[in-house]
Amino acid sequence: MMTKGNYIKLIFGLKLKQMRQDKNMLLSELASRSSLSVSYLNEIESGKKYPKSDKIALLADALGVSYDKMVSLKLMRNLIPIEDFLESNILEQLPLDHYGIDINKLILLMASSSPQLSALIAAFIEMAKTSEQSQNNFSRTALRTFKEFNDNYFDEIEVAVKKFMKENKITESPRIEFSHLKAILELKYKYEIDESSLNHYPDLEELRAVVLKQKKNKLLLNKRLSEAQRAFVAGKELAYIYLGIKDRSFIYSSMRLNTFDHLLNYFKASYFSTSLMINSNLLVSDLEAFFQRNKWDENKFLALINKYNATTEMFFQRITNLSTKYFGLNKLFFLRFNYDASSKEYKLSNELRLNTRRNPGGYQANEHYCRRWVSFETLTKMEMILKKDKKFNGRTAGIIHSKFHDSNDEYLCISVAQKGNLQKNILSSLTIGFQIDENLRQKIKFLDDPKIPLRIVNDTCEKCMLTDCKERVAPPSSAERIEKYNNIEKALQKLKEDYKG
């Protein structure tokens, strides 16, 4: 990650190199004039070292510039995009070092690039800033890609969970209770668990928990959390301790995770807790039996979720962890939609794609998701149930065989909707979609259930040219622009062919 010290070294190195090159001076010539070695100057220009004041004075004299100009953090005009890049917090959001990219070398490469590439970098920075301001998605996109590269299965965490269970005498069971994990935190790690104080602060009512780092660590839980949610938080806190994770957020809310390191470690702790709560051996066995059913059964599926002391999202996420490794189902997506019943707005709050680019549009800021997806159907169904029974606290499920209008890609999509317990008027739907291929047909027998409806879908209304769509909520503006552009290209091609002779 880019620190202030590294930033100053890089800026100084870039300025020194620019000044030297502007005077058509070789590195050896500057070394001779300043009485400094070539190797030392090379380390300065590459951003590895920052010279002391006496050496800066020697360099300023050798280049014929003032000391103040040498130490100024302002770069020349052609390097301004690099300066903007370094001054922004994009490098905090873009974890290049986690992917083995040397930031210093990247910056030096950018500095020696052509004017055209510099312009491209400047445009990229402006786009990145807009993204940061709207949804702070840089880190989240990087994390999502990281999970996709690993098929969302992390063997080292799975092994750590098994070791933790053995050390703490936790047997394989579909219900790991909060009381058990609470006891480990209190007795083994000397935590104090407080399940009431957090709710005395109205502005914190949407936080799941807060950890106060004191002589005796205190875990403050939101009293509105369900049993499964409390167990999940306790499991995550145990994960941070057991995995030795120091760089973390002490606020249990995804809204407070702004750096990649915090987000990555939050994910690792979540994965650990979910793996602890939903044992892989037990779930794989249950899924094998369920997939062999000839008919889809909503009640049986919901009963399977209820069997485990887990939230619906934990259950779906666990399926995405295990599907590739144990079932060979490596083409899937996961979606979480939040629906605000008061404003009638939908928000895609979580997304995962494995070996597929298709789903209802990704993080679209200005377009409307296709309302034909089962995600929206289950949300509508849940809203109708709650209108009749405001105290309903259960789940509702749905399944649809989805086929894309423009590509004919097909997915078996299972969705579960429920109401939240921390945010008023918020309903959520969790959806997993498996791409239909021969392997899926062999693994999931109820795929051929005639009661599963087939529905033509698309990404967003704006991208869809389907003409008889009753669910459409916006005109196909993006699709029409693309069609117009393609028609112009075809007409130009025909024009060239007609006038060849």
Work out the pLDDT band at 121, boundaries 50, 70, 90: low
DSSP 278-326: S-HHHHHHHHHHHHT-SS--HHHHHHHHHHSSS-HHHHHHHHHHHIIII
Query: According to CATH, what is the number of the domain 4-135?
Result: 1.10.260.40
- Which tens digits make up the pLDDT trace of 152-184? 999 999 999 999 999 999 999 999 999 999 999
Taking residues 93-115, report their average pLDDT: 60
What does the pLDDT read at residue 278? 97
> Over the chain, what is the mean pLDDT?
86
**pLDDT over 60 at 12, yes or no:** yes
Alpha helix locations (H) across 46-136?
Answer: 53-63, 67-71, 80-87, 90-93, 103-111, 115-135
- Which tens digits make up the pLDDT trace of 388-405? 998 898 999 999 999 998
pLDDT higher for 355 or 431?
Answer: 431
Q: How many residues does the chain have?
A: 501
Give residue 111's identity as a one-letter amino acid code: A
- Going by C-alpha positions, the residue among 413, 348, 351, 428 that lies closest to residue 383 is 428
- Which tens digits make up the pLDDT trace of 317-369? 999 999 999 999 999 999 999 999 888 889 888 888 888 877 665 555 578 89
- Going by C-alpha positions, the residue among 248, 277, 244 that lies closest to residue 264 is 248
How many CA within 13 A on the CB side of residue 443? 18
What does the pLDDT read at residue 406? 81
* Burial class of residue 29 (count of CB atoms within 10 Å of its CB; 0-12, 13-18, 19+): middle
What does the pLDDT read at residue 421? 81
Taking residues 447-456, report their average pLDDT: 95
> For the chain, which residues make up each domain, given as ranges?
4-135, 148-277, 295-459
> Which is it for the CA torsion 33, 34, 35, 39, positive or negative?
negative
> Diameter of the chain by CA atoms?
90
What does the pLDDT read at residue 308? 96
Query: Is the Cβ–Cβ distance between 245 and 127 less than 8 Å?
Result: no
Give residue 23's identity as a one-letter amino acid code: K
What does the pLDDT read at residue 108? 62
Q: pTM for the full model? A: 0.78
- The pair of structure tokens assigned to 488 is 């112009």
Give Cα separations from 131 to 2, 107, 148, 255 (angstroms): 20, 21, 21, 15
**pLDDT over 50 at 134, yes or no:** no
Residues near 165 by beta carbon (within 8 Å), at least 6 away in sequence: 171, 172, 276
Positions of E strands within 420-479:
426-435, 454-457
Give residue 350's identity as a one-letter amino acid code: N
pLDDT higher for 183 or 95?
Answer: 183
- Which tens digits make up the pLDDT trace of 472-491? 999 999 889 989 999 999 99
Q: Of all helices (H) and strands (E), which one includes residue 350?
A: strand 345-354
Given the DSSP bridges, would you call strands 209-212 and 218-221 parallel, antiparallel or unpaired?
antiparallel
Taking residues 462-476, report their average pLDDT: 89
> Which is it for the CA torsion 458, 461, 464, 466, positive or negative?
positive
- The pair of structure tokens assigned to 150 is 């690993």
What does the pLDDT read at residue 80? 58
Place of tokens 């936790």: 170
pLDDT higher for 220 or 258?
Answer: 220
- Going by C-alpha positions, the residue among 214, 163, 166 that lies closest to residue 190 is 214
**pLDDT over 50 at 422, yes or no:** yes
**pLDDT over 90 at 257, yes or no:** no
**pLDDT over 80 at 123, yes or no:** no
**pLDDT over 90 at 22, yes or no:** no
Work out the pLDDT band at 115, boundaries 50, 70, 90: low
Query: Is the Cβ–Cβ distance between 327 and 287 less than 8 Å?
Result: yes
In angstroms, rounded to a whole number, what is the distance separating the alpha carbons of residues 302 and 288?
A: 16
Work out the pLDDT band at 149, boundaries 50, 70, 90: confident
In angstroms, rounded to a whole number, what is the distance separating the alpha carbons of residues 192 and 24?
A: 67
**pLDDT over 70 at 203, yes or no:** yes
